[in-house]
A and B are shown apart, each in its own frame.
Chain A
Amino acid sequence: MTSPRAFAAYFSAVVLISIALRAPLSVFLKRLIVVLPFVLFIAASAPFAAREAGESARPFLGGSLLVTDRGIEAFANAALKGALGVCALTALSLSTPFHEMLAGLRWFKVPAILVSLSAFSYRYMFVLVDEASRMKRARDSRGWRGRWVWQSGVVGNMIGSLLLRSLERSERVYSAMLSRGYDGSLPMAELPAPRLTDFIVAVVFFSAIMSARLFLT
């Protein structure tokens, strides 16, 4: 279990980076709102987790469920970790262009296939979203009114045709890759050589986080 003091240290690290980036708070809040429901949903079962013999518990919702202090702590722990992760990733994405992030992943020896996969996902995510919004526009312009379950077939069909179109596109992309000599490796730009300040920032930051991890338990 991570201590409140350690959490405070981690969060202040993220806050410091965000201030250095001059990142607006609203960006962080927006992403948190998107992700937190999932985190809370997953963490929601923690307070009701099995209780050890003799451990005190409080009745919840009229006594049908029992909640332990340890369970509540686990819940807070998971929720805070989720929020921290989202904030840290947001700070990373604001500070680092995606292709540099990929180069960084390769530097960390992440398997090439995973790096390629991320590169393609990033490249085609926008194309896919565009395609979906074009389909939606075409659907709406023919007078579609989204009405509950009995019209969900339409949405299912759209998702299906989006999938088929994507499969076909992937074939065409693959042809384009082959025709330029693709043989399984996807070479990309190298990282620019790190400067002295990069090293200093990395060392200071890493030691701060590690100290929080080791001493603030």
Chain B
Amino acid sequence: MSHYSAIEISNLDYKYPDGTQALHGVSLKVAENETVGLLGHNGAGKSTLILHLNGIIIGGDVRVFGTPVTKKSIRQVRQRVGLIFQNPDDQLFCPTVFDDVAFGARQLGLSEKEVIERVRHSVSEVGLDESILKKNVFHLSFGQKKLVSIATVTAMDARVLVFDEPTAGLDPRARKKIINLLRSLGRTQIIASHDLDMLSQLCDRVILLSGGSIAAEGKTSDILNDIPLLERSNVL
């Protein structure tokens, strides 16, 4: 597998049904175990791009570990690529935390014993106590919901984790916790965010989107220190 990129996209266009051109000629590669930041102004196409990564939107040439994302490969792709959405109330839809973390693992058709094992492991990996499993999602704090959201994806044993604004809306303490967690999670990570400080702490490389196209990409420090570039791309 290692000779394939974790994610490879070439010349991707996407137009929303209302005619808005969200992505235009986007090509990128993300190597296995790399952490890549996705930076761009509001409406630059970050979310649209993310939705292509595990086939919520299918179209164009998107490959995951060499496998093209098509209707046929969708199950495999979704097991490998986990999306963590910005709003945990969208991500978490089951009556209890346990059911939510177990959801993806059960969809994979694992035995209940394996499911329980994975749920326990994922919850402790994100630093939560097992007592949280019985709770109603509604009773959790925002920070806890964020952590549970991550566990819902790692329980599927996803090898690529895609985060949409992982630190948005968190207090400094919870933000620090998430940053440390992302660092310790390993795997391949794609992090879409405006949190420049977090990107500089976590990412090997940053891809800068502007108006649906890639404006620049390179080493994190090179991109984030290029103030004129960030201003030109409407990020700053």
Query: Which range contains the number of B residues in contact with the other chain?
Result: 20 to 34
Contact mask A91-126 → B, CB, 8 Å, 1/0? 000000011001000000000000000011011101
- Least CB distance, B90 to chain A, in whole angstroms: 4
Task: Name which of A40-48, A69-77, A140-148, A181-189 contacts chain B.
Answer: A181-189
Partner of B107 from the list A102, A183, A189 (CB cut-off 8 Å) is A183
Q: State whether the Cβ of B106 lies closer than 8 Å to any Cβ in chain A.
A: yes
Q: Tell whether, in the assembled complex, residue A190 and residue B112 are in contact, meaning their CB atoms are under 8 Å apart.
A: yes
Measured CA separation A119–B92 after assembly (Å) = 12
Query: Are A176 and B90 interface neighbours, CB within 8 A?
Result: yes
**A173 at the B interface (CB under 8 A):** yes
Q: For the complex, is B152 an interface residue (Cβ under 8 Å from A)?
A: yes
**In the complex, residue of chain B having the shortest beta-carbon distance to the beta carbon of A119:** B95
Evaluate contact between A172 and B107: CB separation under 8 angstroms. Answer: no
User: B97 CB to closest chain A CB, in angstroms?
Assistant: 10
| Mask of B84-110 contacts with A, CB within 8 angstroms, 1/0 | 010101110111101100111011100
Q: Which residue of B lies closest to A99 (CB)?
A: B95
Q: Which residues of A contact B99 (CB under 8 A)?
A: 99, 188-189
**Which residues of the other chain, B, contact A102 by a CB distance below 8 angstroms?**
95
Q: Does A89 contact B (CB under 8 A)?
A: no
Complex interface: stretch among B13-21, B75-83, B123-131, B213-221: B75-83
Q: Complex: how many Å from CA A178 to CA B54?
A: 9
CB of B206 closer than 8 Å to a CB of A? no
> In the assembly, what is the distance between CA of A188 and CA of B98, in Å?
9
Minimum CB–CB distance for A192 against chain B, Å: 12
Answer yes or no: A127 CB below 8 A from chain B CBs.
Answer: yes
Which residues of B approach A to under 8 Å, CB–CB? 51, 54-56, 75, 78-79, 81-83, 85, 87, 89-91, 93-96, 98-99, 102-104, 106-108, 112, 136-138, 152-153, 156
Instruction: Offer 25 A-B interface pairs, CB within 8 angstroms, sorted by A.
Output: A119-B94, A120-B93, A123-B93, A123-B138, A169-B89, A169-B90, A173-B90, A175-B51, A175-B90, A176-B90, A177-B103, A179-B54, A180-B78, A180-B103, A180-B104, A180-B107, A181-B78, A181-B104, A181-B156, A182-B107, A187-B102, A187-B106, A187-B107, A189-B96, A189-B98
A contacts, CB < 8 Å to B: 98-99, 102, 119-120, 122-124, 126-127, 169, 172-173, 175-183, 185, 187-190
